[in-house]
Chain A
């Protein structure tokens, strides 16, 4: 009987000590699994007739979702041109900066970019294929007509594991990884 009371006392006290010990302030743990972000989309447009004439436009949200708003360049194009476009995706929240576009290329059969513009004179065509021969869209051609116009150009990247279909693809399938609009002027 006496012994039991002693055991209880020890149990209660040890529980109390255990609890109080934790009262010291815990520091936040290191973030071991920081998620992947896409912060930057760069378009590099090269005039097919003049490889020295290069236009750059980018969408950049260097601190990732939330925080500071993104900066978005305008896309200023010349009339009656064909541009060869190279698209780059980056994660600038990491150091060194992670090149996301090479990972998209690697998983090309699960990804597809879609392009559209409110300017009727602008047309797009794919310039790359995945292992199944379907377009990805990291490389594409952009053509402008002979009419000057202003509007918006939209770039969408869909992640379509298992549901990607052959050209021209289906924008309604899968999840949206990127959806960016550039103010566009054809002069």
Chain B
């Protein structure tokens, strides 16, 4: 309640201050460049003594002060890796200045090695998606944002549901951290997409490799860190409006952020954010897909209270979506499935409509996060986080119950409610005997209840973990190690056929270890090596699922004898930034997973009254995965550059001497970027054209799939980006582009709807981002 009044206070204060503009009306803006390369520098801090205000340069190297008085003005400018600079000059009218900074190579060299926090593993292969890249990929779901990261592919169910695959593995083997909190949804299902609004993020980091020693057993094959921007540190109100329009599905997206701080001295800062998204039936090159629309409405709010040594953040969010499922994909039995993929196009093709009918998914995800942090000169930094998450997932089958009174209730056939409480504690200690690092502990308690058809039983899961990460840093290299111990208790209540409740109590525990080395090869290039041992307890669906998967006409049976997976992985990464004309990142990985859990068909098929259903059961084997991902940029001139992305994954079942099913095929993306304009107004305008080639996946075991894998395909995409230059106060970015320019008809191996329909056809889009910064008088 107090917080509520404080928010009201903040808002009132904002309104009051914005009205009281004084007599000083001079504006000073400027641009900061590197004195050698003349490249503009982002995130340079510029401090005005007269205004007692600190600002940072934007992506075009620009900064802006307004409401300055006539007379002398002095600025202090600093950026990590550059020498500090102070200048003074007198102003009598609006002034534009250009400044250059001299690089301080010693610090830059260290950055090559020490580019991560004390509580992170720096030697794991990673890709960061920054704010401008996030905007250019915006408008879709979180999967659409991640899909261009080398080593990441998407597991899709139609066009609107997608989840990331990192180096061949997904779902239970990948952890998503949403604003520092482990995202807890029904993550096990291939048609259960992460419940996250991508517009929340200002940075996304994809960790490709075992991050278990830091994040716990779910991060066996990687982690995705979705981070919002830090709440503002300088006074002012920033509003940001994002829109995106897509021709295919006639989808519109609107997202707005208001954030600010009422005065430099106030300890409070806030942000409110909301996104609305609506799309209709999508169009393949030849026909519409009936019932493939979606609706989404999300909100979040954050407030922080920050004193010199301590602070509190509170963050709340609500994600709400309704996803139509192409109804041709809900089928009765194996015979129907056979008929579906013998057809070249679905039997009930459609027209355009925004209506969403059965079958559909309706998902609500609520999160509340409270974080307290404290830093002490003697002891380091402390952080305590408590989070509550509520995930409600309802899935409606194609047909309502035949009984009219039941049908009138319109209840979902699958209905899961998952509640998770989590505590995290972190201590980043001061340097001790040359080692810097962190010690942490996590605890979570979750329970799942279902109300619809039996697919997975009710359960309670309690997990706890403690970890330590330490780094030893020298100018040329860094050694790091991490050790973590996790314990998981699973308490399962299974309702059997005689309506008896059977209780199963399962305990799993094991350590995870990670060791890494980062070595500086040249001044701006490094090599990273990592060795990790990780584990994962079998999940509830793998142990206990028992029922029909309506979406793919299979009968899935859990296996109560499953034991945890043990993974031993190694990775080697090269980051090369030495030459002006060439940059590249290359990652290689190899990992053995013992007791790898996977689904295999069993004979004979289950005979139900609806007919024959292929029967699948979970088995374990020893698996070996290896591969590479590669990203390079060749800069021909200031105007032309050429980007290459390449991913390759192989996965072998060592016991059965066979391939593992469901691994992404090789893919290559080539992209040519032109920035032909030199005039001041169009300097940040660029045009790019890219070609994605996806090979055919023929490395799969015989007899496990209903239909042969789809053929290789190529897609051509093009994009034009315009950014208004030098505009700290009002910024405009406009993107116009097209996906699948040639309207190519294709099917993707990793889309479970490949049996029924082609993928989306040509899709034009227009994205506009408007940012406004209003400075407030002290």
State the A residues within 8 Å of B (CB): 4, 7-8, 11-12, 15-16, 18-19, 22-23, 25-29, 31-36, 38-39, 41, 59, 61, 63-70, 98, 100, 103-104, 106-107, 156, 158-159, 161-163, 172-180
Chain B, 723-743, contact with A by CB distance < 8 Å: what is the 0/1 string?
000000000000000000000
- Closest residue on chain A to residue B611 by CB atoms: A179
Bound Cα distance A6, B610 (Å): 63
Q: Name the distance in Å between B557's Cβ and chain A's nearest Cβ.
A: 8
Q: Name the distance in Å between A184's Cβ and chain B's nearest Cβ.
A: 17
Closest 10 CB pairs of A and B: A176-B332, A179-B611, A103-B402, A175-B332, A28-B458, A15-B386, A19-B421, A28-B493, A33-B411, A35-B453
Cβ of A35 and Cβ of B452 under 8 Å apart?
yes
Cβ of A176 and Cβ of B335 under 8 Å apart?
yes
Cβ of A107 and Cβ of B402 under 8 Å apart?
yes
- Closest residue on chain A to residue B444 by CB atoms: A19
Cβ of A61 and Cβ of B608 under 8 Å apart?
yes
Bound Cα distance A32, B452 (Å): 7
Bound Cα distance A31, B455 (Å): 12
**Which B residues touch A162, using CB under 8 A?**
348
Chain B, 331-366, contact with A by CB distance < 8 Å: what is the 0/1 string?
111011001000000011000000000000000000
Cβ of A176 and Cβ of B402 under 8 Å apart?
no
**Which A residues touch B557, using CB under 8 A?**
66
B2 within 8 A of A: yes
Cβ of A173 and Cβ of B495 under 8 Å apart?
no
Bound Cα distance A175, B547 (Å): 18
**Which A residues touch B611, using CB under 8 A?**
156, 176, 178-180
B578-611: which residues lie under 8 A (CB-CB) from chain A?
A: 606-611
Q: Name the distance in Å between A28's Cβ and chain B's nearest Cβ.
A: 4
Cβ of B546 and Cβ of A98 under 8 Å apart?
no
Task: Please pick, from B330, B409, B546, the residue contacting A66 in the complex, using a CB distance under 8 A.
Answer: B546
Question: When A70-B607, A70-B609 are in contact, do A161 and B421 touch as well, CB less than 8 Å?
Answer: no
**Which B residues touch A36, using CB under 8 A?**
401-403, 406
Task: Please pick, from A15, A38, A98, the residue contacting B403 in the complex, using a CB distance under 8 A.
Answer: A98
Cβ of A61 and Cβ of B347 under 8 Å apart?
no
Cβ of B399 and Cβ of A161 under 8 Å apart?
yes
Cβ of B607 and Cβ of A69 under 8 Å apart?
yes
Q: Name the distance in Å between A112's Cβ and chain B's nearest Cβ.
A: 13
Bound Cα distance A63, B546 (Å): 14
Q: Name the distance in Å between A161's Cβ and chain B's nearest Cβ.
A: 7
Bound Cα distance A8, B388 (Å): 17
Task: Please pick, from A67, A106, A176, the residue contacting B497 in the complex, using a CB distance under 8 A.
Answer: A67
Cβ of A28 and Cβ of B333 under 8 Å apart?
no
Bound Cα distance A172, B415 (Å): 31
Bound Cα distance A109, B460 (Å): 45
Bound Cα distance A36, B501 (Å): 21
**Which B residues touch A16, using CB under 8 A?**
386, 423
Question: When A15-B370, A28-B458, A163-B347 are in contact, do A59 and B609 touch as well, CB less than 8 Å?
Answer: yes
Bound Cα distance A52, B545 (Å): 48
Bound Cα distance A182, B457 (Å): 34
Bound Cα distance A33, B419 (Å): 20
Cβ of A19 and Cβ of B333 under 8 Å apart?
no
Cβ of A176 and Cβ of B460 under 8 Å apart?
no
Q: Name the distance in Å between A153's Cβ and chain B's nearest Cβ.
A: 14
> Interface size bucket, B side?
35 or more
- Complex A-B: 6 CB contacts under 8 Å: A16-B423, A22-B445, A22-B447, A28-B449, A163-B347, A178-B610
B472 within 8 A of A: no
Q: Name the distance in Å between B722's Cβ and chain A's nearest Cβ.
A: 46
Cβ of B495 and Cβ of A179 under 8 Å apart?
no
Cβ of B330 and Cβ of A25 under 8 Å apart?
no
B31 within 8 A of A: no
Bound Cα distance A72, B331 (Å): 24
Cβ of A19 and Cβ of B386 under 8 Å apart?
yes
**Which B residues touch A174, using CB under 8 A?**
332
B451 within 8 A of A: yes
Bound Cα distance A179, B333 (Å): 9
Cβ of B491 and Cβ of A18 under 8 Å apart?
no
Task: Please pick, from A15, A100, A173, the residue contacting B402 in the complex, using a CB distance under 8 A.
Answer: A100
**Which B residues touch A175, using CB under 8 A?**
330-332, 336, 398-399
Bound Cα distance A98, B399 (Å): 18
Task: Please pick, from B335, B413, B547, B609, the residue contacting A41 in the complex, using a CB distance under 8 A.
Answer: B609
B548 within 8 A of A: yes
B624 within 8 A of A: no
Question: When A15-B386, A19-B423 are in contact, do A65 and B548 touch as well, CB less than 8 Å?
Answer: yes
**Which A residues touch B493, using CB under 8 A?**
27-28
Question: When A100-B402, A177-B332 are in contact, do A65 and B608 touch as well, CB less than 8 Å?
Answer: yes
**Which B residues touch A163, using CB under 8 A?**
347-348
Cβ of B610 and Cβ of A26 under 8 Å apart?
no
Question: When A35-B453, A178-B610, A179-B610 are in contact, do A66 and B547 touch as well, CB less than 8 Å?
Answer: yes
Bound Cα distance A8, B310 (Å): 11
**Which B residues touch A23, using CB under 8 A?**
445, 462
Q: Name the distance in Å between B330's Cβ and chain A's nearest Cβ.
A: 7
**Which A residues touch B547, using CB under 8 A?**
65-66
B312 within 8 A of A: yes
- Closest residue on chain A to residue B397 by CB atoms: A35
Cβ of B399 and Cβ of A8 under 8 Å apart?
no
Bound Cα distance A63, B398 (Å): 23
Question: When A19-B445, A176-B610 are in contact, do A12 and B335 touch as well, CB less than 8 Å?
Answer: no
Task: Please pick, from B386, B450, B609, the residue contacting A39 in the complex, using a CB distance under 8 A.
Answer: B609
Cβ of B451 and Cβ of A29 under 8 Å apart?
yes
Bound Cα distance A177, B336 (Å): 10
**Which B residues touch A4, using CB under 8 A?**
305
Bound Cα distance A16, B495 (Å): 31
B412 within 8 A of A: yes
Bound Cα distance A63, B449 (Å): 23
**Which B residues touch A31, using CB under 8 A?**
450-451, 454, 495
B287 within 8 A of A: no
Bound Cα distance A146, B611 (Å): 31
Task: Please pick, from B399, B411, B449, B612, the residue contacting A159 in the complex, using a CB distance under 8 A.
Answer: B399
Chain B, 469-484, contact with A by CB distance < 8 Å: what is the 0/1 string?
0000000000000000
Q: Name the distance in Å between A10's Cβ and chain B's nearest Cβ.
A: 11
- Closest residue on chain A to residue B413 by CB atoms: A35
B519 within 8 A of A: no
